[in-house]
Chain A
Amino acid sequence: MNNDDRNNEFLKMCREIDFSAESMNQEKNLADLKNMLETINNERTAKMNKKIKRPVTIAAVAAMILCLSVAVYGQELWRIIKTITVGQYFEYNVVEDSREFIPVPEELKGQLFDKDGNELDVFPEDRVFYNANGEEIGIIYDGGKCRVMTEEEFNATQIPKEFIFEDFDEGRSYFISDVLTPEYLPEGYMFSKIAYYGDPEDKSRTNMYSNKYMNIYYSDGENEIVMKLIYMDETTISGSKASKDIEEISVNGREAFIDGGRLDILLNDVLYRIYGNDDIGRDELVKVAESLK
């Protein structure tokens, strides 16, 4: 046996040692930790409720920041023509495309080229541009900064991983709030799966980003209807780009919005976004939303 083998053998044996068998209070300690977690979460909720009662809420300030963030670059690539606020924590920025010649901002100078490798000073009208290697790139708006990357790089980094539950009740049990489900689905569609954002390799679920985001999928074997749920509070403030054709409608007396083949409705602090990978049609979207119970 050489030195490396002996080292490895020694390491292996040491790793088999388990002192934790001496620890007799694991269950009691876990119960104490759960109580502690509950106390912390309750304090956090109480603090949040207190803040919401103020005339100028944190939510309103944060929403304003979001709006400005969009405008920093958005005003150059799109023109924001209207903002629609839904509840306290969600808003649409209604935009129209700008076709003017726009200078490349300082932050992106030296990174955008045309097909022939010439550095760009203004965005081309067709908005197609390349990196120094001649690969087509896009501008990614992330956390107040702009970055450029190829579509392949973008897809590799931005698509969230998912935890999948095929059992509806089990999947639903992890969501922070009650879940309404549609009593009506277009013909042939049935429940398929529930997904949360997180790393599927981490079976402990401790890498799950949040129990405030959940996607429910319905399938007819070929196409899918997705119902995306976001529990709206101070931590999940969201904004969404909308076209100028966004339509406000009433669903069972509640305001709802239809835009670009999707329907959004806020019910019991949960935003339900319903859409299909194949256009399922406005009437079907409304029927599904009306049947949420």
Chain B
Amino acid sequence: MEVYINRALNISLEKPKNEMDKYSLEAMYRQYYKNVYNYISFRINNHYDSEDLANSVFENAIRKFHTYKPECAPIEAWLIGIAKNVVTDHLRSKKHTVFTPIEDILGLASPSDRPEEVVVRNEDNRALIQAMSKLKDKERQILSMKFSTDLKNHEIAGILGMSESNVGVIVHRSIKKLMKLLEKERV
């Protein structure tokens, strides 16, 4: 009994703290830049802003790394959580209203019969993003995470403060909605 009281004492006193060095920064950047950039692109559809915002995400990650708790969430979920806030601040600061003229969608959609083929054939994937702008904000947020990361539903639920089952329902429903939207705009 006393043996592991003692061991616990040693562990609690010697528990290491989080710290970022240039090696872990580079590893994190190379592994997750693509996911972060794609998530932002699905949300805002502006290349110049996407690059700046992706950079802001990693700047915030450097400043806040001491608060990251590996036992609570994988690093990818933590970064996407930061990206979500960065995008929200960006949209708020620009008083950005997501509005896509119907002509844009009509002009970019392919004459395919099936929405999934629209995505494949369309060389400009902006059509997909523009169609996504027709979705509700929560649906767009969740689909952006599903499209750009390997996050599981429960991890997305953790970022957005929702239940896992609710995320599952919204994913299913919004994909259907998006496919219908693409199909409808094709006609």
Tell me if A23 is interfacial: C-beta within 8 Å of chain B.
yes
CB-defined contacts of A127 to chain B, threshold 8 Å: 1-2
Q: Are B23 and A174 neighbours in the complex by a CB distance under 8 Å?
A: yes
User: A230 vs B16: C-alpha distance in the bound complex, in angstroms?
Assistant: 9
A212 at the interface (CB under 8 A from B): yes
Which residues of A sit under 8 angstroms from B38, Cβ to Cβ? 17-20
User: A138-B5, A158-B8 are contacts. A230–B14 as well, Cβ < 8 Å?
Assistant: yes
Q: Does the CB pair A154–B27 fall under 8 Å?
A: no
A279 within 8 A of B: no
Is B75 positioned at the interface, with any CB of A under 8 Å from its CB? yes
* B26 and A14 contact, CB distance less than 8 A: no
Which chain B residues lie closer than 8 Å to A199 at the CB level? 70
Per-position 1/0 for B109-142, Cβ under 8 A of A = 0000001100110000100100000000000000
Give chain A residues whose Cβ lies under 8 Å from the Cβ of B2. Answer: 77, 97, 127
Report the interface size class on chain A: 35 or more
Which size class do B's interface residues fall under?
35 or more
Which residues from chain A contact B116 at a C-beta distance below 8 Å?
A: 6, 9-10, 13
Write the nearest CB–CB distance from B34 to chain A, whole angstroms. Answer: 4
B18 within 8 A of A: yes
Q: How far is the CA of A143 from the CA of B8 in the complex (A)?
A: 10
With A204-B24, A210-B19 as known contacts, state yes or no: A11 contacts B147, CB within 8 Å. Answer: yes
Q: Are B19 and A235 in contact (CB under 8 A)?
A: yes
Task: Determine the residue in chain B with the shortest Cβ distance to A211.
Answer: B21
Q: Does B95 contact A (CB under 8 A)?
A: no
A11 touches B146 (CB 8 A): yes
Interface, chain B (partner A; CB < 8 A): 1-2, 4-29, 31, 33-34, 37-38, 41-42, 47, 50-51, 54-55, 58-59, 62-63, 70, 74-75, 115-116, 119-120, 125, 128, 143, 146-148, 172, 175-176, 178-179
